[in-house]
Amino acid sequence: MIKYRDYLIEKLSDREEAIAYLQTSIEEYQKDGDTLALLLALQSIIEAQRGRSELVLQVYLLRDLVYHSQKEYDAAIEDYTKVLELNPDYKGDSSLPDLLTSAFEEVQKLPEESRDTLAEQLIKDIETEIRWDETLAKSPDVLAALAEKAREEYRAGRTEQLKNF
């Protein structure tokens, strides 16, 4: 009989499974606020994905943020150090565009509770964008067919120009 932990690590060695597990773990954390469960999920992904993949780097960065929010600064520094070991060229916030850097500076001025709420919403928005991009990428034939149908309707004179455009 296989242990659950071994089974989980084996499943998460598949990148797509690991990404789905990460998304689910973040969603559960947003619902129940169980930091320990989120940290265990992140650790499982790191163990399963061994190596220098971009996914592992992102998970370390996420875990760094979780540790930082819990004021576990030694653990946060350890994870950020691991990020730099995996990618010595990583520049963190200094590589962000000026507008995004300014936005983060403004967020730092907010009370901690407001920052957390804003961060949760931002994570949700990013997850939605990722799912949307994945959905579009999986259905190029459907999109091409819809575009062709729209062109046919335009050529047949069955379309109207949108107002205010």
Q: What's the DSSP call for residue 162?
A: P
Per-residue confidence (pLDDT) for residue 105, from 0 to 100: 72
Q: Are residues 24 and 54 in the same domain?
A: yes
- Whether 129 has a pLDDT exceeding 80, the answer reads no
6 falls within a domain: yes
Residue 47 neighbours by CB under 8 Å, 6+ apart: 9, 12
Domain encompassing residue 6 = 1-90
139 falls within a domain: yes
List phi, psi (to 5°) of 146: -65, -40
**Predicted model pTM:** 0.55
Q: Are residues 136 and 84 in the same domain?
A: no
101 falls within a domain: no
- At 164 the three-state DSSP class reads coil
95 falls within a domain: no
Q: Do residues 9 and 48 make contact, with C-beta atoms less than 8 angstroms apart?
A: yes
Q: Are residues 42 and 116 in the same domain?
A: no
The whole-number average pLDDT for the span 32-47 is 93
**Interatomic CA distance for residues 115 and 72, integer angstroms:** 18
Per-residue confidence (pLDDT) for residue 165, from 0 to 100: 45
- Whether 96 has a pLDDT exceeding 60, the answer reads no
Q: Are residues 65 and 1 in the same domain?
A: yes
Pick the more confident residue, 80 or 106: 80
CATH value at residue 18? 1.25.40.10
Q: How many domains in the chain?
A: 2
Per-residue confidence (pLDDT) for residue 155, from 0 to 100: 85
